[in-house]
Each structure stands twice: as C-alpha cells, then as structure tokens.
Amino acid sequence: MTKIAIFGVGLIGGSLALSFKGKPGITVVGHSNRPESVEKYVQRGVVDEATTSMREAAEGADFIFLCVPVGKLADYVQEISRFHLKPGCIITDVGSTKASVAACAKSIDLNGAVFIGGHPMAGSERSGVEAASSYLFENAFYVLTPDSSTPQDAVDRLKELLVYTKAHIVVVDAVSHDQIVGAISHLPHMIAVALVNQIRGYNETNPLYESLAAGGFRDITRIAASDPVVWRDILINNRSVLLKLLQDWNAETARFMHMLETEDGEAIQQAFLEAGRFRSRMPERRKGVIHSTYDCYVDVPDHPGIIGKITTELGNNSINLSNIQIIESREDVPGVLRLSFRNQEQLDQAMEQLAASGYTIHL
Ligand SMILES: NC(=O)c1ccc[n+]([C@@H]2O[C@H](COP(=O)([O-])OP(=O)(O)OC[C@H]3O[C@@H](n4cnc5c(N)ncnc54)[C@H](O)[C@@H]3O)[C@@H](O)[C@H]2O)c1
Ligand SMILES: O=C(O)C(=O)C[C@]1(C(=O)O)C=C[C@@H](O)C=C1
C-alpha cells in the first residue's frame, strides 16, 4: 500500500487528496489540528482516514504533501522531520513560493526523507475543502523545484504519483519560480486587490460604482476575493521579488499617464495592440475548477430560478455541467451565464438542447 499524508486539507490539499483517493494501492490520510475538520474530511469522502496527530499521519507515509499557508511550511517541515519517517519518504509542498521552503528543508536533517518543492499552477479564489475538486489540476502546469542534490529516482517517483492529477509537470529552479510566479500570479493579485479597494473607496460616496461594475471589472478582479491569510503569507514571503515588480508596475502606469497627458492616441492603440497579441497567444487550456475549454455563454432573463431551470433541463438530458458562473446580472436586463462542460460532445449537446428551448447561446 502507498500511504499519502496530506497536511492542510483545504482547496489544494483536498483537490490532491481527491486526485489520489481510490487509485489502486493508495491510501490517503488527512491531517488537521481540529477534530471537527478531521470528521468533515472523512464524511465528505475526500480522504480515506484523517487524524489530529501529526505523527500518526506522517509515520509510515511514502509521500507527505504540505498544503498549509506558506508562512507555516517551515514549521511543518521541521516538526515532521522529527518523526520516525519511512526511509525514502518524499516530503513535498504546494506553496506558491518555493525558495524559502527549499532553503529550510536543505538546512535541516530530514531523517532519511527527501524534500522536493512543488507548486500546482491551478487554484481558485475559493478556499477550504468545500472548494476542492478532483479536476482542479487537469491540464494545468505543476512545477517541481528539485536541486542538483535531489536524487533523480525520488523526482521520478513523485512525477509518477502526480500523473493522477493529470497536470503537466515542469521542473524549474526555486529562485526562478518565485521570480516568474511573482510576475504572473502574485503581482496580478495585488493589482486586483488595489483596484477593488480604489473603487470601494469611490463607492462609499456613490453606490452607482458598485451597480455599474460589469464584465470588465469582474473579469480583472475575481482573484481579489482570494483567501486573506494564504495571500498575506505569499506576498510577505516573496516581498523582495514583489517590490521590484511593483516598481516596474509603477513605470507601466506612468507610461499610461504620459500617454494621456500628451493625448498620444497612437501610443495607446499600440499598447492595446501589443497586449492583445500577447494575450491571444496564451492557450485556453487551463481547465481546473474555473477554467474550461468547453464553455458557452447563454443570455438569460434575470429572474429567480433561471439557473435551476437550465441545470434541470441539462440534467434531464444527461448533460453534465462542470461549472456554471453568472457573468453579468443586472436589474431589468438579460444576464449572461457561462456554462462549462468537460468535453466537446457535452458542450455540443447542451448548445443544441438550449437553442431548441429558445435560449440565445454564444461561444
Ligand atoms: N489558492 C490557490 O489558488 C493556490 C494555488 C496553488 C497553491 N496554493 C498554495 O496552497 C497552499 C494552501 O492554500 P489553499 O488555497 O489550499 O488554502 P486553504 O485555506 O483552502 O487550505 C489551507 C489548509 O491549511 C490548514 N492550515 C494549517 N495551519 C494553518 C494556519 N496556521 N493558518 C491557516 N490554515 C492553516 C487549513 O486548515 C486548511 O486545511 C498555500 O501554501 C498556497 O500558497 C494555493
Ligand atoms: O485561478 C485563481 O484563482 C488563482 O489565483 C490561481 C493561482 C494563479 O494566480 O494563477 C493562484 C495562486 C497559485 O499559487 C497558483 C495559481
């Protein structure tokens, strides 16, 4: 039996547990300090067993996944390495920053275990085990950050296990990881939060800001609703990278200020053109909970019960939705729903069914 221990069965830990659970020869054990959480994990069927004892979860494990906030990773590595670990046990983490946890693992005696940093590049603004999904990592990149002293057979064993996540494994060094992920994930989270707070300020004196906020504002600010503790830890941990990135960001906004001050329409057009070209090169392949390649948009009258009506109609025809999202909903005007499916066939069937029922569908 391969024993997998998961510390921190939240969005990411729970999604990993669901990817592994029920696979041949695998048993998944979840850990939480709180007895009520332990009960919840088992009741929800996310893990095979759960315990409040760190020792019980860690000892005998072939793989240990640390899925707690970044600020707690070093404590967990230190605490776990004091137990009697199975020789060759692989300790890995899912933290959104990699350099500090790698340095911590390198600085202590792991008692025969091997540490390999990891980071699945998929997630959501939601948190907790309630948001976990076995599909979260499908088609996403999953970064591993071994260094030159990491035994190759351990890296291979971890890669073999991660096949169950259906993610694409990519090996990057920890420092480059923090630099790149700082730019494509941490900086956007700061910008989204700053933007929402800016508008929240205006809204205090005029609530029309909130009412009129439509697709553009929602698209760019979804991640502003992310977990405060998780993001506090990420940003503080990667602060030296982020301070430099914010300087570059200030230079970008200064460029816009200059274009406006000088009424330089050509430069504005050029900025949109270049951004649009780069953006369109990005493949729409990150499915996870939120992203799906098999999406369609449905115009719906904005009245109570419409979501239930559509889901029932699809369910009655054996068409399974993977996600449903309200893109736009305003008083007295039609709203837009994004419907996501797991494959093209289900999408085609749904579009046919809903069109036959008189809905207007867009791709
Ligand atoms: N949210 C994302 O999109 C995302 C994506 C990839 C990686 N990550 C990383 O995954 C890790 C977990 O994030 P998540 O989104 O699953 O968060 P989450 O809040 O859903 O889960 C965190 C888990 O850690 C536990 N925990 C243990 N000690 C804790 C403490 N002191 N404070 C708070 N929680 C504690 C919580 O009970 C919970 O089970 C983080 O290191 C994060 O950087 C997050
Ligand atoms: O999709 C989201 O909501 C995410 O924030 C996922 C996201 C990202 O920024 O892309 C967030 C943090 C990670 O560590 C990896 C992925």
Is the CB of residue 223 below 6 angstroms from any atom belonging to ligand 2?
A: yes
Bridge-based pairing state of the strands 141-144 and 118-120: antiparallel
Q: Quick one: 232 and 122 in the same domain?
A: no
Q: Quick one: 325 and 180 in the same domain?
A: no
Ligand 2 centroid–CA 111 distance in Å is 33
Choosing from 172, 189, 209, the residue where a domain stops is 172
Ligand 1 centroid–CA 274 distance in Å is 36
245 found inside a domain: yes
**pTM value surpassing 0.90:** no
Q: Is the pLDDT of residue 292 over 60?
A: no
Q: Count up the domains in the chain and report the number.
A: 3
Report the CATH number at residue 320.
3.30.2130.10
- In sequence order, which residues have a C-beta less than 8 Å from that of residue 32 and are 6 or more positions away? 8, 9, 38, 41, 50, 52
Check if the beta carbon of residue 151 is closer than 8 Å to that of residue 196: no
Q: Quick one: 203 and 132 in the same domain?
A: no
288 found inside a domain: no
Q: Which domain holds residue 60?
A: 2-172
Q: Quick one: 181 and 168 in the same domain?
A: no
For the CA of 94, the closest atom of ligand 2 is 14
Please say whether the dihedral angle defined by the alpha carbons of residues 20, 21, 24 and 27, taken in this order, is positive or negative.
Answer: positive
Q: Is the pLDDT of residue 135 over 50?
A: yes
Look-up of token digits 């391969």: 2
Q: Quick one: 166 and 184 in the same domain?
A: no
Alpha carbon nearest to ligand 2 atom 9, residue: 185
Which tens digit of pLDDT belongs to each residue from 37-78?
999 999 999 999 999 999 999 999 999 999 999 999 999 999
326 found inside a domain: yes
Ligand 2 centroid–CA 351 distance in Å is 30
Q: Is the pLDDT of residue 288 over 50?
A: no
Give the percent of the chain with pLDDT over 70: 94
Considering only CA atoms, give the Rg of the chain.
23
